[in-house]
Each structure stands twice: as structure tokens, then as C-alpha cells.
Structure 1
Amino acid sequence: MPLAIFLLTLAAPSLGVTYLHDVSNTDLQGLLCLKLHLFSSARFLTSWKNDSMQFCSWFGVSCSKRHPSRVVALDFESLDLHGQIPSCISNLTFVTRIHLPNNKLSGQITTELGQLSRLQYLNLSSNNLGGKIPGTLSSCSRLQIIDLALNSLSGSIPEGLGTLTSLSVLRLTGNNLMGNIPLPLGSSSSLISVILTNNSLTGPIPPLLTNSSSLQVLALTKNHLSGEIPSPLFNSTSLQKLALGLNSFVGSIPTCTINGSPLQYLILQSNNLAGTVPSTLRNFTSLLWLLLGDNNFHGTVPASLYNLSALTYLGMGNNSFTGEIPSSIGYTLPSIQILILQENLFQGNLPSSLGNLQNLFLLSISQNNLSGQIPLSISNLSQLNELHLQENNLSGPIPGGLGRCKNLEALNLSSNSFHGSIPIELFTLLSLSKGLDLSHNQLSGNIPPEISGLINLGTLSISNNQFSGKIPSTLGECVHLEYLHMKANLLDGRIPESFTNLRGIIVLDISQNNLSGKIPEFLETFSDIEFLNLSFNNLEGPVPTGGIFHNSSEVFLQGNKKLCASSPLLQLPLCSSKTSKKRQALRILKIVGPVSLAVIPLSCFMVILLTKTKKVKQVAQQRNKGLKKLSLTDLVRATDNFSSANLIGSGRYGSVYRARFESEEHTVAVKVFKLDQLGAPKSFLAECKALRNTRHRNLVRVITACSTYDPTGYEFKALVLECMPNGSLESWLYPKLNKYGLRRPLSLSSRIVIAMDIASALDYLHNHCSPPMAHCDLKPSNVLLDDVMGARLADFGLAKFLQSFSYSCRHSSTSILGPRGSIGYIAPGALFSFKEKTFSTS
């Protein structure tokens, strides 16, 4: 017997090593199994090597200090983790913590998690998990935290979760869970937080949960729970947050019988609660949020409720509260940030003490029976972001002091009895972006041109007032406007041409005024507009036919007796042929008229020419001095036989040399075309044609051209251009140690000036050149800089006249549409030009 014991003693160390190797291998295989089922763009799993026993150092893996080589935690938060949780995770039998939130895991939660008897923490929130919550989790008796929020879980909450005696946090918000809350939930003496918001749970709150002495947070908002609110919740000595909003609870608010309750958040809005508000709410002295809105409460609000000095959010809207707002409210709620009293039966004046609420961010007392004027003290609310006073009986002028509320984003004073003009101070509110609604009042006078100051405004409504005069053209500077309502006023004149800038407009209603003139054709180019009401004005002429005018259900034009349409769907008289002929005659007159008017001064000019021939010849000689014909010999001499020392640059179609002619005071540039290159002769002709038709300060000026044959009989073509002393924009954007020397980078102001010069050149080519032209090869190397760093656009070898291009595309089945540019590089400008040409053919 002693010998057997001795032998076992000798064998014990080797048995221990074998055991450790086996369990380590088990954990290794479990981790490698996870690697097979999961993948991530973060590529952290690449550090998990199949042949490595050092898995305790792998990313996201933690091992036990007491039991080396045993995995106790997996931490993979926000790693773009895809795949499904495999059943082999159960091999990690020592795991106490699984933390995988904010990933893209899918599939169902494996039931094998129930085999992890040591598991204390499980967080799989913010993934794409579906199916039911496995009931096997109740076998994890040590579970303290379960967070499965923000997934797509369905079914009911397993009854067994309520029996977990160590459970402290249960968070299942944002799923599709149904059924009742488990009756045993609340039996754990460690329970701190139960958050089940935004599901479809039904039934009452379980008694065990309402009587929990450790519960601090109970959030059940946005479900289908019913029954009365249990009174123990209002007499809890531990509860800090009670959120029961957006359910179907009935009855009244329970009475609070304890003093000094720790409750900080009481959220009861959007239920079917009724009765009066108990004065015992004053016992919640720590209350920060009190939300009672959208219920059936009535009667006066207890004065003690306005004395909860810690309140930051008081919401009592959509009830039937009566009485007046206490004049002391500005002193008893010093911390209030959000005050919502809308849709009640409050009456009396607005207390002037409201101006003392320096932290007030949102004030809404709309849809009540308030009267009197807006107190001037409102202008002291420097933090005010939204002010809603619509649908009351307020009167008097709108106080200009509101212009001092520099953080105001929304102002709604509609449906009151305000009179007078709009104070100009309102138009200094650059912060006003969400909306300005002054409709349904008695405001009068002209709309001030200073309205252009509301450059960030999205919605403007001044309908149903008595505004007169013309619509200010400056309104077109409010380019962020999406909704513009100006109907039922006394406005006259034409629809401003500046409205063409309101490209983002969705709703435009200027009906029931005295507007005249034609409907602007630019309205048919508005791509976002969904509703256009121009009815009951004095507009005349034919209705445009494009854009929104195609849809008769979105356009209202009735009540304009002088309008006609080409379609009967607009319910207007059809335009007659006489009208069409009149329009054609007007178009002809627009062309012929200016020509006729030009004949008289032209005749006078000819007389002057005949009487001053000598002087004219002298002027002509001076002008032609720089345009005289140059021979190949002249070019050879000016460039020192096209010396490489005078070479400025070289491209696919030509080389540019610096030249100095005896007749010229300044250095010029000679571009010699490489006629052996395919397309070079065409490029020369294109440049000649382009430069012949263009005159602009931001285009490189052509001095003359040379087309001849060299002594060997080969064709020779060249252009003589202005020489730009500061080279190309490319050499400044990407500087090198070259003949221009070391340079400082372009300053921001220089870049802006250059960009403006290029834009000016393109605007001329696209909109003011006749015919319009697309450059088709816009890039930094084709932008040259003069002696004062002004930008000049050069190289018109790929230029296209848009009218001829459009014609050829319509009349040729072989026309090729595509971007144009240098081989190996297509500049953004080339793509832009391609788009412009494509549009011109449509």
C-alpha cells in the first residue's frame, strides 16, 4: 500500500501537466471555432494563429490569473464583427464575461450559452440578432447583467430570467418582444435596473417588480402595458427613474406618502391617465424631469409643482389644465430648460418673470387662451432656441427685442392678433433656421428688404396678414428656403426674378394676392418643388409647360383670368393660335429690335469714319502693328532657332518657346505644333477658331498665327501668344526646384483669386461667348499665371462649340459622346464639359 501511494506521488506531476494541456487545448479549439464563424473588416482575428498556444495574448481574449490558460473574457466592441455566435462557444467553460456590442452579428442567440455556468456578464446589444431569447440563460445562475438591447429579438421574455437571484441589470430595449413581463421578475434582491422600452409588451406591471427594495431604474416606455400604476412605485425609497410613457395606463397618479424621495425622472406622458395632479408631487424634491403631457388631466396645477426648484424639464402639454401661469414662475424654477404647457386651457397674461429663466432652451405655450402682449423681458432669454406661442389671443406689436435672442432657431407666433409691421431686428437672427411663422395675424406694411438677413431660414410663413407692396427681391437671397407661404395678403407687382435662386424650394404658395405679370419660366426648372399655388392673382400669358407644370395635381392656377394653358388639365382656357403667333412675334421683335436700333448709331459712325479717314487709318495702323504677319524666318530668329534654352514646355500636340521680336517690347510665347502627331492639325484649327471668337481678360490672348512650309517642304504651323511670366498653375501647386527657383506655397487668398479667375473664364465661355464653348481640357497645366498672379486659361486644342456639337449629335448616328482630355488624365473640368455638352443635346 505505501508503495502504491509512492508511485502515485511520482506520477502526479505528469498527470497535472497532461490535464493542463487538455484544458488549454479545449479553450484553444473553442477560440479557433469562433474564428471560423466570425469575421471582421478590422482584421483583428488575423492575430489568432491556429498553431499558437499563446492565445491568452490574442486580441480581445483575457485569461484567468488563478487558472492560467483558461479564457475568462471576450471583449469585441465596435469591431464590425459579422457572422453568427456558434454553439462551440460553450467550450469556454471558464468564461465570465462576453462583451460583443455594436457589431453586425446575425442569426439567433445560441442555446449553448446556458452551459456557461460561470457567466456573469452578457452584452450582445446593438447587433442584428433575431429569434427568441433562449430560456437556457436561466441556467446561468451567476448572471448579473443581461444586455440584449437594439436587436430584432421576438417572442416573450423567458420566465426563468426572473428567477436569476444575482440579476442586477436587465436591458432588452428596442426589440420586438411581446407578452407579459415575467411575474418572478423582481425577486432578485440585487435588481437595480430593468429597461424594456420600445417593445410590444402587454399586461400590468408585476407586483414583485413594484415592491423591489433595490430597484433604481424602471423604464417601460413605448409598449402596450395597461392597468393602473401601482402605488408602491411612488413610495419607493430606492427608485430614481420611473419611465412609463407611451403605454395604456389608466387611473390617476398615486399619492406619494414619503418625504425626500430620490426619484429624479418621472415620465408618464401619452397614457390614459386622468383626474387632477396630486399636490404630494412636492415630495419629489430631487425631480429633474416631470412629463405628464398627452393625458386627460384637468383642473389647476398645484402651486407646489412650480416650486420644484431642481426641475430642468416640465412637460404638461395636451391636457385640460386651467387657471393662470403663476407670476412667480421665473423665480421658482431657476433651472428649467424645457417648459411645455401647450394645448391646455391656460388663460391670462404671459408672466414677465419668464425673462428670468436664463437656462430656458424651449418654451411652448401654444394653443391656450393667453391674452395681452409678449413681455419685453422675453428678450433676456439668451439661451432660447425655440419659442412657440401660436394659437392664443395675444395682441400688440411683435417686440423687436426678440432679435436679441441670438440662439433662436424656431419662432412661431401664428394665429394671434399681433399688428403693426415685422420688426427689422428679427431679420438679424442668423440662427433662425427651423422656421419663422407669423401667419394668421393682422400684420401690415411692406415686407422689409432686410429679410435677406435670414440666410439660413428653411420655412417662412407670413400668410393671412395685410402685407402690401411688392415682394422684395432680396428674399431671393434666402437660398435655404424650402417652404414659403405668403398667401392671402395684399401683395402686388411681379414675381421677383431673384426667386430663381430658390432652387431648393419644395412648397411655394403666393396665392390670393394681387400679383401680375407672367409666370416666370425658371419655375419649371425647379427639381425639388412639390406644391405650387399661384391661384387668385392677376397673372397673365401662357403657362410654362415643363417641370412641375406637367403635374396638374401639384399646381394651382385658378382665379387668374388672363392666364392660358396648352393643356386642359390645368383647368384654364387653352392658348389660341393668335397667342402663339403673338409670342413668336415678340421673340422676333427681341432679335430684330436691337438690330434696328443699332442701325442709327452705325450710320452716324460711318459718317464719322468718312470725315476722319486719315485719323482712322492711323489708329488702324497702330492696332495692326501687333497683328502683322510673321514668317517662319521671324519665328526662327525670335526663338534662336527654337533653342532648348527658350523651351518653356512641351505637350502632346506642340512645344512652347519663349520669343522676342524686334517689333515687340515684351517677351511672347510661340507654340509650334507637332504636325506628325495624329490630331495636331485639327488642334491647331480648333485653337484658331476658338481664339478668334473669344475676348476675355482671363483667356490667354493670341497675337498672331503662322501657317507655312519649312525649307524641307514640311508643313509648319504656330501660334504667337502672350507669355505668362509666372508659368502654369501646376508648377505652383506641385513646386519643384526648377528655373522658377524655390517658391513659397500659394496663400489661401491667392488660391481664391485664381479660382475666381478660372470661374470667370468658364462663365464667359459657357454663357457669354457666341457661340458657347466647352474647353474640354481644363487642368492646372493649362492655367497660366501672369505677372500679378492672375489666371489665364490656355490650350483650346480640344475645345468644342456647344451649338455645333449639339447639332451634330442630333443629326448623326455616329457621333461619339464621352469625356475629352489628355491621355492618361481626365481633369474634372473635362468631365464637367462632357456633362454640359450632354445636357445641351437633351
Structure 2
Amino acid sequence: MGHHPPWSSAVSSCSAFCILVLCVGSASYASSGGNETDGLALLQFKAKVFSDPFMILSSWNDTVHYCQWHGVTCGRRHQRVTELRLTSQKLMGSISPFVGNLSFLRSLYLENNSFTHQIPPEIGRLCRLQLLHLQNNLLGGRIPYNLSGCSNLEVIHLDDNQLFGEIPVEIGSLAKLKTFSAGSNEFTGNVPSLEKLHRFRWLAATSNHLGSGKADDLNFLCTLANATSLEVVGINDNNFGGVLPECIGNFSSTLTQFFCDNNKISGRIPAGITNLINLETLRLWNNNLMGNIPTDIGKLQRLQVVFLSENNLSGNIPSSFGNLTLLSKLVLSNNDLQGNIPSSLGNCQFLVLLDLANNRLSNAIPPQVIGMQSLSIGLNFSSNRLTGPLPMEVGHLNNVGVLDISRNRLAGAIPSSLGSCVSLEFLDMKENLFQGTIPSSFASLRGLQELDLSRNNLSGNIPTFFVDFKWLRLLNLSYNNFDGPVPIDGAFNDSSTAIVVGNSRLCGGIPEMHLPKCNLGKPTKRKWILKNLTMVIVFGVLGVLIVLSILFVYWSTKKEKGLTSSSSSGNLILNMSYQSLLKATNGFSSANLIGAGSFGSVYKGILDEGRMTIAVKVLNLLRHGASKSFLAECEALRNIRHRNLVKILTVCSGVDYQGNEFKALVYEFMAQGSLEDWLHPTTEELDSHQEERCLGLLQRLNIAIDVASAVEYLHWLCEAPIVHCDLKPSNVLLDDDMVGHVSDFGLARFSATAIHNVVSSTNQSSSTGIRGTVGYTAPGFLRQKYLAQNMVQQNEVSTYGDVYSYGILLLEMFTRKRPTDDMFQGTLNLHSFVKTALPQRVLEIADPILFQESNGDQNTMNNWDVRINKIQECLSSIFGIGVACSAEQMGERMSMKDVVAELHSIRKKLLQTRTHGGSQPTYIP
């Protein structure tokens, strides 16, 4: 590879001749200043491009100087081309060899296009070139050996092309090289020696055919020990063999990313790897490693991602993992690990993924681990030898999407607390020793897509609430002891979705299940007594509820002095008087004031000597409509309960010390304030928090799902659908875990009378008389009034008003622009502003903070442009939902059911962390 090809002189002669010919017809460059060679070289570059869909090369003509052409940057002093940047323009063609004539070129950016043929060897003449970005094209052939002529090269990006052959050994002579990235090509052979590259920072040679699988394949790693600035080593998805050399312990302490997964590496994990004190990501999965995990791995306290799955590792899981308090993903599945699951893992409070499947772990599951609220992607303990009951602490996993504890020896009843895991989409508990019935709390798991309880000792009837699980695509209840009738609706209408074989006492179901008909004969005496007793109890409770409801309305109408209370959850703080609220809020001190609205003010209060924090909303009864607001909120929150609705603890209706009427509502306290505070913090808030509050892309998406889930519940899952009427960021409150809760039901109405009440009452939060807040209220209110007066589509009008408000809220969350912003004048509003940017310009209108978050995430080896494309796809989908929800015509707006489903799908694509292999989920970053 060190010899010059015989045709190189011919190419050089041809180039000189072409330049001479072009000089004759291009005298205009002499009059415009600068150097003719650069202009002619650029025109030759343009001539090789046969597809330019965005017409960005149309400016490349002699009407203006070439330094003003699109993508061209020149030096100020000598007017020579120093940078050519044509990134992501969908250009098709080949790279002209005349690019080698741009002798002052320092940066060449041609990534994310469709350039074909080979990399022109003439690039090797660019001795000033520092940055070479050719990734994500269709380039073929070999890397030119004379690339070493670019002695100032610092960055080489050749990923995602069709290059083949060996990586030239001359690369090792580029003394200033900091980054070499050549993943996803067809390279073969070994990586050249890099011992001269003292400034080297980044080696990425993933997804090729490098290495021979032999013992000495990895020796080149030792040459990197001289690189004092080394940050990333990525040689995964190749064919490297042998053992990891002990010299890894000599790597610079600057190393943060080490990727050697999916090779043929054997031997032990070198003990010296614990010297890499700044390591953040360690990926060695799918190799042939054996022996123990280093016991002092806890020394690497910056570790965030550890993937050691699919090896032959043995011994215990080191308890020192508990020292890695920044750990977010730990995957040790498919090894031969044994012993206990260390309870110290419970110290890893940022862990979102824990996968210990397919090992030989035994004994009980530690409550400290099963109850980690941070887990959101998944927890997988399947195919081990775990025993004992499933701890009640499993109910703390209210953010987890996947829970797999199948193929163990777990016993006892299924804890009812599992029903609190409302984010679950995949729950696998098969092949254990669980007994008893399916808890009624499972009715809350409405997002389940797959539920497998097969091959246990469960009994009782099959709950009918599974019929309403609309996302369920697998319900495996086979080989248990269930009895009674099998439903025929919902998932049970498909025998491949609902599997009930192996339960000898079941009956009914669809014909494909081949079950006997249910015996509808005369009931036994015991059943007759039980049935009649149940009816007595039910009617008795209904009677009590009716009496209590009449008394409540009576007391409210007469404004009787004293205390009355109501709760959305049934857990009331009884006997809450004006005096106790006065004490809790320090006399309704302004220091405790945390918010003010149209009908009152909200104060922070402390009860029981600091043991409980509450939020007290005191109604301003002098304001017209405040009493109606109080009754509306009491009625709306009286019988509803959802994890994403603010919980009302009690209400207080009485008189104050001056004899004036006093009404207040007491809520649970939301420690993180409102979404408004996070999207648009005031100067005082910024000062108090010392730094700007920032919500990342995933955090905003989670909150958007929280709010959508709450609205879906109000519209579709309540006994009588409820319309909120005032959705906006200040009415979305955040708890300690940044979970969103919809609040302020002072304008809420039951849908059967919503239109009439909206038309006939005066809205106190808007000067226009329309219920709701300016900017968030749907247009065309007179049309709604007409429909209301004629009793047409009452329910659709009211609920779709909430959908409009949610759409505006969603657009505001991801653009961080209020609908009342000064920029929105005339026909331009937030809806049209986003709609006109779809889909190409979403990055221009999105909140820039979203990209700062992604730019700092180095947990994957994906380059920045690929990550931007993923973010753009995600934002396009989110903005599309927001635009659809905020359509002017209510019939064009989405249903909140569809909104929730779409947002869940977007979140799953964004995470991109789980793929299914065989019968067992396998997690990859």
C-alpha cells in the first residue's frame, strides 16, 4: 500500500489540462478578485453533481464571487476557500478530483448526502485540511493511502459508506489526528498501529469485518496507551479475537467510552480496567469473556452504562456496583452469575434499566431493588432461581415499561401493589409458583400490551376488566387453576391473543377455545345467600351515598357554618377548620403564597408539626362566580381518581374570625411547582434556583403523556365524562418525580350540561366571556353556542374544547413559546406557526434546550447528525399531534384516546433501547 499507483501522474496531467481549458472561458474571476483556481475547482465539483433537489448549487455561477456561494467560506485576507460545507442536502453524484485544487481548504463537510464512487486520491494534496466529514454517503473503494499527505488532519469521519479493504497503515502517521471514525463499512484486516498519535481522542471502527478472530488481534490497543487525550474507543461489531490486554489499565484517565462488544474476545476482564476512573460507558457484551466481574468495579464512580451480557462470566455480582450512584443502565444477562442480587443496587437512584436475566441467581429479591422508582425502561430477572414472595415494594415501579420475573421459583400471592405500576406495557410472570387470584388492582394496568401469567398455581375467576384493555395483544393465562366463565369480548375474541388452555374448570368463551358450555342451572343455596347478601350491601351503600349527597347539597345551599369535606380518593383529613388552615399557612402569610388565580389564592401549608405539606386554595368569594367554581371543583373531584390528577384531600366551608364566609380546598402539595414555572421561569425563580430550570426532550414527552392520560380519563373513563375547560401550563403541577398532575377544576363541567353552562355563565379568567384562558380556548365559540342552544353534539363540542387546549399546550411545551407571545399577530398564531414549519423546519422552531441535552449524551456511538435526525423525527410527530389537536374545526381534532396512543409510540421510538430476540427481551443502547 506504500507505492504510488501508475495512473497518478496521468490524473495530474489531465487535471492541469482541464484547468488550462477552463481558464480561457472564465476571465470574470480575474476582475472579481480572489484566485481563479478555487472558483474553477468549485465549478468542476458542481459538474459532478447530477441531482440537487434543494437547488443549493444554483448560486454557483459567475454573477457573484465564489466566496459568496452557498456552503463556501473564504479567508478574509487572501479570499481563498477555507471551508466547503454541503451537509444534508440530498446531493447525488461523485466527488470531483478537482477538490484537490482547493489548496487552502481546512474543512470539508459532505456528510449525509448520496455521493458515490471512490474518495478521490487528490484529497491527499490538501496539506492544510483539518476536518474531513464524508460519513453517511454511498462512497465505495478503498481509503486513499495518500490521505497521510494531509498532515494537519485532526478529524476523519467515514462512517456509513461502502468502503472496503484494509485501513491504510499511513493513518498512523497523522500525528495531529484526534478522531478516526469509520464504522458501518466493509473494512477487513487489523487496525494499524497508532502509537504516534499522542493527541488521539476518538477511535470508532464499529460494524466492519476487522480482525481475524486470532489471539493477537487486540494488540494494537496497547499503542493507544500513549494517547494522553483518549476519550472514546469503539471497535464493536467486528471480528476481533484473543484476550483484552492488560495494557488497558495504562490507558489515559481521560477515557470515557469503551466499546468492544459483539466480537470474539475471550479471557477475563482485565483488573486494570478499574484504573479508568473517568469511564462512563463500558460495553463488552456478546463475547466469550469468562471469570469474575472485578470486585472493585465500584471504583469507577462515573460509570453510567455497563453492558456485559452474553458472555460466560461467573461468580457473584459485586456489591460494589452500589457505589456507582450515576449508573443508568446495567445489563448482565445471559451469563453464569450466581448468588444473591446485591441489595446495594438500590443505591443506584438513576438506574432506568436493570437486566440480570438468564443467570443462576438465587434467594429472595431484595425490596431495595424491586422498589427503585427510577426504573423506567425495564427490569428483567427472568430465568434465574429466585425464591420467596414478590415484595410489596414492586408497586413503586410506577414508571417502568417492562417487568419480567418469569422462569423463577417465586411463590405466594401476587401483591396488589403491582396495580400501581400504571406505565407497564409488558408484564411476564410465567413459570413461577404464584397462587391465589389475579388482584383487582390489575384493572389499573390499562396500558398493558402483553401479560403472561401462564404455568403458575393461580385460581379464581378471570377478571372481566381485561375486556377493556384495548392495547392488549397477548394475555396468556394457560396452565393454572382458573374456573368459571371466559369472557368473549375484547382480547378474548381472539384465541391467539387470549390463551386459556390447561385450566380444566373454565367454561364458555368463543368456540375456538373449545371449552365446555357454562352450567346455567339452579344456583346452590350458598350462592343464593351470597347473591342476596351482596344486593343488600350494595343497595345499603347506595342509600347512604344518596343521603350524604342530599345533605351536602343542602349544607352548601344554606351556607351553614362549620366544616364539610369531600375527597376524590376517600382519604380525607377530617375536622379541618378555618383555625387549623390559618395555623398551617402561618396566617395565610404572603411568604407561603405559591399561586393566584381568578377565583382565589393558593398557599403552602404545614400540618402535624411538619409531617405533612399541603396546598390550600382559598376562594375569593367577592369575585363573581367563585362559589360556582368551588361547587364545580368539589363535584368534579368528588368521585374521580387518577395518578395524573391532583388529589384533593378535603374542603372547608365555614366562616373566618370576622364572620365572613370562608371556603377553601386542600390538595396534596406538588413540590416541583407548575409546568409554567419550568417553561417560563421568572427572574426571581432563576435566582432562587441558582441556574435555569431545564426540561429535556424525554421529560417533556413524559409530562405530555401524563397530561394526555389525565384528560383521556376525564373524557372517556369517568362514569360521567368531565370537561376541564382550562388546560394550560400553570394548571399542570409536577411532583418530586416530575410526574405531571392536572389541577384547577374550577371551570370543569360534566359533559351532559357543559355546553349550556359554558354559554350561560361568565368566564372569570378571560375578558371575552368565553370559559377558559385566552390563547388556550378553541376558536369558533359562537358556533359552539349555536350548537348548544339547539342541543346538537353537546358532548363532542365540550370535550373537543379540551383537546384544542391540549394541542396548544403541547406546542408550547416543545417550542417554549406562549400562544399569547407578541410575535403572534394577525393570522399568525402558535398553531399556524408550527404547521407551516412541518416537517422540514421543526428544528428551527423547537426549543434549543432540547438539542443541548442530546449533544451532551455520549452513551451511544451515533454521530451528532444521526441523533439530530432522530430528534427531528420525534419532534415532527409531536408537533403533528399538537397541530391536529388545535385544528380550528372541532371535527378535525384528534380524540384523546388516539393522542395517548400516539405519544406512547413516539416515546418508545425515542428510547430505542429494547429489541426482542428469541423469547427473551435483550437490551442494547
TM-score interval w.r.t. the shorter chain? 0.5 to 0.7
Distance 2:331 2:396 in 1: 22
Matched, 1:305 2:248: yes
Alpha-carbon contact 1:776-1:830 (below 8 Å) kept:
no
Select between 495-504 and 201-210 the one with higher mean Cα deviation. Answer: 201-210
Matched with 2:156 is 218
Matched with 2:794 is 819
1:771-807 Cα offsets, whole Å, 9 max, x none, are 9878999999xxxxxxxx999999999599xxxxxxx
1:751-789 Cα offsets, whole Å, 9 max, x none, are 49958623344659x99xxx9878999999xxxxxxxx9
Please identify the structure whose Cα radius of gyration is greater.
1
What is the alpha-carbon root mean square deviation over aligned residues?
4.7
In structure 1, give the amino acid aligned to 2:107. Answer: V
Matched with 2:384 is 441
Q: CA deviation at 1:280?
A: 2.5
Distance 1:342 1:599 in 2: 62
Counterpart of 2:139 in 1: which secondary structure? strand
Matched, 1:277 2:214: no
Aligned residue among 202, 223, 227 for 1:265: 202
Alpha-carbon contact 2:449-2:471 (below 8 Å) kept:
yes
Q: CA deviation at 1:304?
A: 1.3
Distance 2:323 2:751 in 1: 62
1:105-254 mapped onto 2 (5 Å cutoff): 107-115=54-62, 118-120=65-67, 142-254=80-192
Matched, 1:364 2:217: no
Alpha-carbon contact 1:147-1:171 (below 8 Å) kept:
yes
In structure 2, give the amino acid aligned to 1:108. Answer: M
Alpha-carbon contact 2:720-2:751 (below 8 Å) kept:
no
1:508-543 Cα offsets, whole Å, 9 max, x none, are 111111111121111111122222211111122222
Matched with 2:616 is 750
Alpha-carbon contact 2:491-2:497 (below 8 Å) kept:
yes
Alpha-carbon contact 1:699-1:793 (below 8 Å) kept:
no
Alpha-carbon contact 1:413-1:439 (below 8 Å) kept:
yes
**Distance change (3 Å), C-alpha of 1:116 and 1:394:** farther
1:287-315 Cα offsets, whole Å, 9 max, x none, are 21111111111111221133102211111
Select between 266-275 and 181-190 the one with higher mean Cα deviation. Answer: 181-190
Aligned residue among 543, 547, 555 for 2:486: 543
Distance 1:752 1:545 in 2: 50
Counterpart of 1:150 in 2: which secondary structure? coil
**Distance change (3 Å), C-alpha of 1:415 and 1:702:** closer
In structure 1, give the amino acid aligned to 2:218. Answer: V
1:605-684 mapped onto 2 (5 Å cutoff): none
Matched with 2:769 is none
Distance 1:830 1:194 in 2: 48
Alpha-carbon contact 2:56-2:70 (below 8 Å) kept:
no
Alpha-carbon contact 2:633-2:745 (below 8 Å) kept:
no
Matched, 1:321 2:265: yes
Q: CA deviation at 1:148?
A: 1.8
**Distance change (3 Å), C-alpha of 1:530 and 1:722:** same
**Distance change (3 Å), C-alpha of 1:321 and 1:249:** same
Matched with 1:722 is 558
Alpha-carbon contact 2:398-2:421 (below 8 Å) kept:
yes
Distance 1:254 1:508 in 2: 51
Q: Which runs of 5+ in 1 are unaligned?
A: 1-66, 73-104, 126-139, 601-691, 704-720, 727-741, 781-788, 801-814
Matched with 2:636 is 759
TM-score, normalization by structure 1: 0.60
1:91-127 Cα offsets, whole Å, 9 max, x none, are xxxxxxxxxxxxxx963234441426633376669xx
Distance 1:598 1:270 in 2: 66
Alpha-carbon contact 2:724-2:747 (below 8 Å) kept:
no
Distance 1:213 1:273 in 2: 25
Matched, 1:494 2:464: no
How high is the sequence identity, in percent, across the aligned residues? 32
Distance 2:308 2:272 in 1: 16
**Distance change (3 Å), C-alpha of 1:567 and 1:215:** same
In structure 1, give the amino acid aligned to 2:470. Answer: S
Matched with 1:714 is none
Q: CA deviation at 1:725?
A: 9.3
Counterpart of 1:177 in 2: which secondary structure? strand
Counterpart of 1:203 in 2: which secondary structure? coil
**Distance change (3 Å), C-alpha of 1:445 and 1:776:** closer
In structure 2, give the amino acid aligned to 1:573. Answer: L
**Distance change (3 Å), C-alpha of 1:287 and 1:536:** same
Distance 2:487 2:373 in 1: 35
1:368-383 mapped onto 2 (5 Å cutoff): 368-383=311-326
Q: CA deviation at 1:426?
A: 0.8
Q: Which runs of 5+ in 2 are unaligned?
A: 1-30, 35-51, 73-77, 563-596, 604-614, 620-629, 642-712, 728-743, 756-789, 807-890, 898-925
**Distance change (3 Å), C-alpha of 1:582 and 1:315:** farther
Alpha-carbon contact 1:260-1:285 (below 8 Å) kept:
no
TM-score, normalization by structure 2: 0.55
Alpha-carbon contact 1:819-1:830 (below 8 Å) kept:
no
Matched with 1:696 is 549
Matched with 2:517 is 575
Distance 1:261 1:597 in 2: 82
In structure 1, give the amino acid aligned to 2:400. Answer: L
Distance 1:599 1:118 in 2: 89
Distance 2:197 2:799 in 1: 75
**Distance change (3 Å), C-alpha of 1:699 and 1:282:** same
In structure 1, give the amino acid aligned to 2:130. Answer: I
Matched with 1:510 is 453
Counterpart of 1:262 in 2: which secondary structure? coil
Tell me the matched-pair count: 572
Counterpart of 2:60 in 1: which secondary structure? helix
Distance 2:65 2:484 in 1: 84
Distance 1:486 1:217 in 2: 50
Distance 2:245 2:799 in 1: 76
Alpha-carbon contact 1:390-1:415 (below 8 Å) kept:
yes
Distance 2:598 2:186 in 1: 74
**Distance change (3 Å), C-alpha of 1:169 and 1:589:** farther
**Distance change (3 Å), C-alpha of 1:476 and 1:394:** same
Matched, 1:291 2:234: yes
Distance 1:165 1:268 in 2: 29
